[in-house]
Amino acid sequence: MLNAVIFCRHGETESNLGGWLAGSRDVSLTERGREQAREAAAALVAGRQTVPVVYSSPQRRALETAAVLAEALAVPIVPVAGLEERRWGDLEGGAIPADLLREEVPNGESLSAFGARVTAALDGLPVPADGRPPLIVAHAGTWPVLCRWLGVESALLWPPNASPVTLMRQGARVG
């Protein structure tokens, strides 16, 4: 089991800019989102942050961000089924609801099912042989599941777009 990861939410998308819920829709980054990804990559390189691999949600917005990061870090990208954003059903394409943590959504994925899917994907990630934390590129909804999985408290509902954050399991040692 991984004891530490670097998490990076994808860069800005049209849905982020417009304030509508993308969910399972395969939206791409805006030009600003691509610039955010380049800035995140530059920050990781400048901070001498090394990772063995980039694990990414297979959705376009995450893969576009992951590609920029992986190129700058000279590491491979591995798309990971299960890290996709929550499927919001009838709410997709509409305004972002105030109650993002509601259990059920019409014709969508329950919060419990979403959490179980992401947790299973995280459980399946291989631990790098050299002990360095991998970089995970995914979505706003992935953040609270990842924090719970690692046993980390976060005041953030989700991190800003393309802002890498290092998370370590409480009491864990890396390397």
Annotated active-site residue 10? The verdict is: yes
Statement: residue 45 has pLDDT above 70: yes
- For residue 167, what pLDDT band results from cuts at 50, 70 and 90? very high
HEC letters along the chain? CCCEEEEEECCCEHHHHHCECCCCCCCCECHHHHHHHHHHHHHHHHCCCCCCCEEECCCHHHHHHHHHHHHHHCCCEEECCCCCCCCCHHHCCCECCCCCCCCCCCCCCCHHHHHHHHHHHHHCCCCCCCCCCCEEEECCCHHHHHHHHHCCCCCCCCCCCCCCEEEECCCCCCC
Confirm whether 139 is a catalytic residue.
Answer: no
In this model, does residue 14 exceed pLDDT 80? yes
| Domains of the chain, earliest start first | 4-94+114-168 (3.40.50.1240)
User: Is 64 annotated to bind ligand?
Assistant: no
The residue from 84, 85, 92, 109 that is catalytic is 85
Residue 31 marked as a ligand binder: no
Find out whether 10 is annotated in a ligand binding site. Answer: yes
pLDDT at 1 over 90: no
Average pLDDT score, the chain: 94
